[in-house]
Amino acid sequence: MMMKDLIVTRRNQSKNMGRKNIVDPDIKTASIIGVIMWWLKGGFHLDSAYIAEQINLMYRT
């Protein structure tokens, strides 16, 4: 629930307040957790800063 709360808070504080939110926070939460689980299971073959930046690029809202 903490991840979802973070997504909702970030969305509410976004500069794009007039923009329609297309992706539900539950879906964003599940996809971010999925990326992190994939990264952990893969043995950290990518740098954590790289993973964080890729997640940020995917979910700028």
The average pLDDT across 49-53 equals 92
What separation in angstroms does the CA of 33 have from each of 16, 19, 25, 51? 24, 25, 12, 12
pTM for the model: 0.64
Backbone angles phi, psi at 14, to 5 degrees: -65, 150
Report whether pLDDT(49) > 90: yes
Confidence of residue 53 (pLDDT cuts 50, 70, 90): very high
Residues 31-46 have pLDDT tens digits of: 889 999 999 998 888 9
Q: Please, what is the average pLDDT of the chain?
A: 82
**How many Cα neighbours within 13 Å face the side chain of 10?**
13
